[in-house]
Structure 1
Amino acid sequence: MTDTERSRIVELQHQGYGYKKISAITGLPLNTVKSFCARHPVQIKEMPDSNALCRNCLTPLEQTPHKRKRMFCSDACRMAWWNAHPERVQRKAYYTLTCRHCGKQFESYGNSHRVFCSRDCYLKFRRKEADHE
């Protein structure tokens, strides 16, 4: 292994590449790259952490100091990811209510002021009121 190959391996390690990628780029055998890296450990300066990538398209994100950590690169990526992963949404605003027309218990999400369990019950209730007038 030449000095230029060694410096190239160190440079690629600093950029965050793994053994397989370094081996493919340099053309050196995988075990040679692994052995060199094990014998000459490099302190990686700017290795992006797992939180620094967009969850949808995996592009690197720039985090603003003292701000909430970004998870998505854009609104389009954010909406696409949440639409693809509805099971990850932590829904907490469920309300158990009683229908004004039929008296049946029903569950409403996000609206604690709902009165009827369905549109059908609403229409029947309105017709009943109209008949009494």
Structure 2
Amino acid sequence: MNNSDKEKIKKLRQYGLGYKRVAKMLNISVDTVKSFCRKNNLSGMMAKPKLDEVDCCRQCGDIMMQVEKKKPLKFCKDECRKLWWQHHRSELKKKKACKIICQHCGKEVMAYRYENRKYCSHQCYCAERFKEGK
């Protein structure tokens, strides 16, 4: 557990969240959160807000306050959203995916309908397009 996790635990506990919720938001063991809170006099706090009012960004883990009667936020800013989806592309709920073969390296890649992919990566695209410096 690093210093940023410790600060986040302190903030979340001050908002009134329980050990389980804090552990789930930060992907840390519940026992680790409990022992940290006991050592830093953060145990025994009563819950102040509703559990849905406080949440963490999926990418960077920063604490966000949710606004009532609005769609719940999953990311604190656009950069975080873009980075998260770049690394979790397989979690998109697109049903029709097909296998393509990279025209440069021959690697088999999953591509979604109407994506018109020919290469597995940008490096393969550049290597094929510019013939590797030839």
**TM-score surpassing 0.5?**
no
The TM-score normalised by the length of structure 2 is 0.43
Higher strand share: 2
Provide the TM-score with structure 1 as the length reference: 0.43
